[in-house]
Chains A and B, each alone.
Chain A
Amino acid sequence: MAMLSAEQQDALQELINVAMGQASNQLARHLNTLVHLQVPAIQVIRASEAPVQLGQLYADKTMHLISQGFIGGAGIQGEAMLLYNLDSTQQLATILGYQHQDANEAEMLSDISAILTTTFLNGLARQLGSSLSYSAPLQLHCHNSDLSEQVNQLAKRWKVALQVNIHYQVTDYAFQCDMILLIPGTALLALQQQLDAILQDYG
């Protein structure tokens, strides 16, 4: 099975670092607070392995799973999943600048997800000389049901899962979320070609 070569993975990590830096900068200005986005470690795994990994990672935890589809030029396509383990959405409301009555939990999760996904992926697409269109974020999973089952259903349709762990830290508190990009086989080929082209330019 065609996964990424070592060079391709390095190139992708570099592009993601740059995209994450840009996203971090944008978020800090937008949210008007000190934001620290740790440069994420990426891991390319088969989509079929994702449910097991996540199931172990989030066993016994209350999870929120938000999914947002994206499609761009040159065959790039996929689905971004954001996983949150939050005790309370009060933090989110503060980060987003919402007053108490402004928005409910699902809405805040959709908002923060769209912000995190699109700022990051727009940056990544720019590195690849492309741009992306997005579907509306969808909340797939609420409290206390089986996460790995949900991810399993999603992963069946995709070939590769690119796991990006984002630690999102704001001065007074921290919350963590994991981003998983699920990418189908054809889009993986397109991605590889673009990475190869970039490698050639710099090679």
Chain B
Amino acid sequence: MDTHWLAMPILNQLNSGVLVLTTDYCISFYNQFIERRLGVPLSEVRNQSVFNVFTDLPEAWLKRKLDSVVALNAPSFSSWEQRPYVLKLPHMRPVSSGSDYMIQNCSMLPLNHPKTGETYVCLLIEDATDVSIYQQELQRNMHILQQANRFDGLTKVYNRSYWEQLLQSEFLRAKRYHQPLSLILFDLDKFKLLNDHYGHLGGDFVLIELAAYIQSLLRESDFLGRYGGEEFGIILPNTALQGAAEVAERICQRVAEHQLLFNQNIIRATISLGVAELGQQELQEPQDLLRCADVALYSSKRQGRNRSTCYQQAMPEYRQK
């Protein structure tokens, strides 16, 4: 069977764009895929510079690419992930894609005329609009998953497992580079009474409001996490005990002054804080730092709450709430 006649109909029905250029960037052919989307018959623009027909082309970039294809007789590529499109063409999903133009992968292939030996460059345009939409959705969902994985659903500060990972890595970093690292643990005073008095919605409200308020008092580099029910932790990288104690004292005072309005009731909550620093002792594990801060927190509670205390070696090690 003679198969030569097949090439043209297939080329025209191909669901990819085929654009053939001469070595001086003039159009010698494009298929129906491009013709229909461009809306200009090939006969009108044949032998015209591609830069006059597609006016938005990145000229310097494309010339560089085309020259390399010709000079090296080797293909060149452009991925939609790096450059969304080469030829500005409409696509078939103008409503649902979130992009005005067809997202494309483009392969630039060297062609040699079998008789004259002249070189041409074929730009093969594949529509990657759908792929890019899926990719966007995937990234959005990954982001949502990551948020869910890292943040506490109620208070929107870091959850315990992610906060502990942060503590682990900050602990190792501080040890490796001999930098200070401090930790504050704090606990809402008499949270049970709050719950009894205002109901669990009231208790939740206080947790949410205070977490956001305390977050606003911290530096970008500090990590606030919810450690347990009404217990929170703050990792303070590159901060020595003195600085951490000042932060804790400031938080304690500001929280005590802060009024929370819940169902026309003003709630005044107080917190007790414990502060510990990595350098205070030869601490081997992040858990040791947690334990020291916890001991100091307990000491604040025992001294009457609504205060901050720094860890000291002589402190009793047991703890009860």
B58: A residues at CB distance < 8 A: 102
Alpha-carbon separation in the docked complex, A139 to B74 (Å): 19
Whether A102 pairs with B60 at a CB distance below 8 angstroms is yes
A136: Cβ under 8 A from any B Cβ: yes
* A96 CB–B CB distance under 8 Å: yes
Chain A 101-116 interface 0/1 with B at a Cβ cutoff of 8 Å (1 = within): 0111011001100110
Assuming the contacts A102-B60, A102-B61, asked whether A107 and B75 have C-beta atoms less than 8 A apart, the reply is no
Docked CA distance A94–B76 (Å): 18
- Interface presence of B134 (CB below 8 A): no
Evaluate contact between B61 and A98: CB separation under 8 angstroms: yes
Q: Is the CB of B71 within 8 A of A29?
A: yes
- Please report the C-alpha to C-alpha distance between residue A63 and residue B242 in the assembled complex, in whole angstroms: 40
Q: Given A27, A99, A107, A115, which contacts B83 in the complex, CB threshold below 8 Å?
A: A107
Chain A 24-53, CB within 8 Å of chain B: the 1/0 string?
001101100000000000000000000000
Q: Are B72 and A26 in contact (CB under 8 A)?
A: yes
Q: Does A122 contact B (CB under 8 A)?
A: yes
- A194 on interface, CB distance cutoff 8 Å: no
- A115 to B222 Cα, complex, angstroms: 46
The answer to the question of B73 belonging to the interface, with a C-beta cut-off of 8 Å to chain A, is yes
Number of interface residues of A (CB under 8 A): 24
Asked if A75 is at the interface of the complex by the 8 Å CB criterion, the answer is no
Given contacts A102-B58, A107-B82, contact A30 B73 (CB under 8 A): no
A111 CA to B74 CA in the complex, in Å?
11
Residues A122 and B77 in contact, CB atoms below 8 Å apart: no
Looking across the interface, which residue of chain B has its beta carbon closest to that of A122?
B74
Kindly state whether residue B176 has any CB partner on chain A within 8 Å.
no
B296–chain A nearest beta-carbon distance, Å: 36
Please determine whether A137 and B71 come into contact, CB atoms closer than 8 angstroms.
Answer: no
Contact, CB under 8 Å: B77 / A30: no
Q: Mark B103-142, 1 if CB is under 8 A from A, else 0.
A: 0010100000000000000000000000000000000000
Tell me which of B71, B75, B81, B105 contacts A30 (CB under 8 A): B71
Question: In the complex the two chains form, is B77's CB within 8 Å of A103's CB?
Answer: no
Q: Is A118 an interface residue (CB 8 A)?
A: yes
Chain A residues within 8 Å of B65, by CB:
111
Which of A96, A97, A104, A134 is B82 in contact with, Cβ under 8 Å? A104
Closest to B77 in A: A136
Q: How far is the CA of A30 from the CA of B70 in the complex (A)?
A: 9
Q: Does A91 contact B (CB under 8 A)?
A: no
Chain B residue at minimal CB-CB distance from A135 = B77
In the bound complex, do residue A136 and residue B79 qualify as a contact, i.e. CB atoms below 8 Å apart? yes
A157 CB to nearest B CB, Å: 22
Chain B residues with Cβ below 8 Å from A122 are: 73-74
Q: Does A8 contact B (CB under 8 A)?
A: no
Contacts of B73 in A (CB 8 A): 122
A192 within 8 A of B: no
- A103 partner residues in chain B, CB cutoff 8 A: 61, 82
Q: Are B72 and A110 in contact (CB under 8 A)?
A: no
| B197 CB-CB contact with A under 8 Å | no
Known: A26-B71, A29-B71, A107-B83. A137 touches B77 (CB 8 A): yes
In the complex, B219 has a CB within 8 A of chain A: no
Q: Are B82 and A106 in contact (CB under 8 A)?
A: yes
- Of B61, B64, B74, B107, which is within 8 A of A136 by CB? B107
B238 at the interface (CB under 8 A from A): no
The residue on B at minimum CB distance from A106 is: B82
The interface bits of chain A over 13-33 (1 if a CB of B lies within 8 angstroms of the residue's CB, else 0) are 000000000000011011000
- A119 at interface, CB cutoff 8 A: yes
Residue in chain B with minimal CB distance to A97: B64
Q: Does B68 contact A (CB under 8 A)?
A: yes
18 residue pairs of the A-B complex, CB under 8 angstroms, read: A26-B71, A30-B72, A102-B60, A102-B61, A103-B61, A104-B82, A106-B81, A110-B82, A111-B68, A114-B74, A114-B76, A114-B77, A115-B76, A118-B74, A119-B74, A136-B107, A137-B77, A138-B79
Sorted nearest first, the 5 A-B pairs with minimum C-beta distance are A118-B74, A136-B77, A30-B71, A107-B82, A102-B61
Given contacts A98-B61, A107-B79, A138-B79, 15 further A-B contacts (CB under 8 A): A30-B68, A98-B64, A99-B60, A102-B58, A106-B81, A107-B82, A107-B83, A110-B82, A114-B75, A115-B68, A115-B72, A118-B72, A122-B73, A136-B79, A137-B79
